[in-house]
Structure 1
C-alpha cells in the first residue's frame, strides 16, 4: 500500500519538462528511522525502525535512484542500507557540521551530480531542514519532519529556481493489533 502511495505521489508531484523549462531533479529526503533505546551515543535502529527501513526499500522498488546519500550516524546508515542493497548501489557518505556555507556547498554538489535524476538523502531533521532551505522549501513543510520524530519521507521536485514542490510521506508501518 505504501509503495503504491509513494509511486502515485512521485507521479502526481511531477512537473512537465520541456526544452524551455529547467530540468527537474527529484530528491527523496528521509529522516532516519526509529532508533533503539540505548545508552550509546550513536544507537542503531529499533525493531520498528528496521521495519521502516525495509518498508522504505520496498516502497521505492521500481524507482530509478541515481544516488543514496547518508550521514555517518548508525541509524541513518541502517535506514538506507536495505534500499542500497535492493538497488545494488553503494552509499555515499556526507558530513555537515552546522556551517551554512558547507551545507550549501554539499547540497549544490549533490544536485550537480544528479541533475534531472532521482536521489535519496538520509539524515537527521536538522541536516535535512538546512538542505530544504537551500532548495526553497517553505518552513511549514520542513516542520513536519519533527512532528513524528522519525520515519518521515519528503519528496521534493527541484528545478533550481528556489521554487521546490514538496510532498510529505510517512514510512511508518501500521502496527498489527
Structure 2
C-alpha cells in the first residue's frame, strides 16, 4: 500500500520512475591461433597463427576491452599479446587442471570482477570449450567453436541471470596462397 502511494505521488508530481536495466557483461572467447609444428611440448604460433593473432586485433579494434585472460600456453599467450599491446592492457594468467569445479570458479570470478564490462579469454580448444560451458553457453555454439579449430572467436553477452546469448565472430581470416 505504501509503495503504491509512493509511486502514485511520484507520477503525479511528474517525477520519472526509471527501471534500471541489468548490466551486460561481454565475454569474448578466443581459441588459440594455429601453432607451429614442433617437437616442443608447448609450441608457439605458426606464420598463419601470427597472422590470425594480428587479425584478432583488427577484428576487435574499437572494442573497449577491460581485461584479457589467457592460460600459460605459448600459443594462447602469443595469440592475445598483440591484442593486449594494442589496447594497452596487461595479460591476466589463469591455470586449469581439468577440474570442472575449478573451471567454474575461475569463470565466475572473471565475470564477477568485470560485471558490465568486456573481457577476452584465450586458451586451447579443449579448455575454451569447458570455459564457455561454465559461462552458461550450451549446445551447438560450443561445438561449432571447438570443431572449427584455431583462432575462432565466440562473443557471449550475459545480462544478469538470464541465459547468455552467443554469437560467433567472423574475422574473415584467409590464408595466403
TM-score by length of 1: 0.85
Q: Distance in 2 between matches of 1:60 and 1:101?
A: 31
Q: Distance in 2 between matches of 1:157 and 1:64?
A: 14
1:142-176 Cα deviation digits (max 9, x unpaired): 00122221110000001242500000124452133
**162-171 or 43-52, which deviates more:** 162-171
Whether 2:158 is the aligned partner of 1:158: answer yes
Whether 2:85 is the aligned partner of 1:85: answer yes
Q: Distance in 1 between matches of 2:93 and 2:70?
A: 5
Residue 20 of structure 1: how far off its partner (Å) = 4.1
Q: Against the structure 1 CA distance between its residues 147 and 113, is the aligned structure 2 distance closer, same or farther, given a 3 Å change threshold?
A: same
SS at match of 2:22: coil
- 2:14 corresponds in structure 1 to none
Regions of 4+ moved over 4 Å: none
RMSD: 1.5
Aligned length: 160
- 1:147 corresponds in structure 2 to 147
1:117-145 Cα deviation digits (max 9, x unpaired): 00100001222222222222122110012
Q: Where does the alignment leave 5 or more consecutive residues of structure 2 unmatched?
A: 1-17
Q: Distance in 2 between matches of 1:104 and 1:19?
A: 31
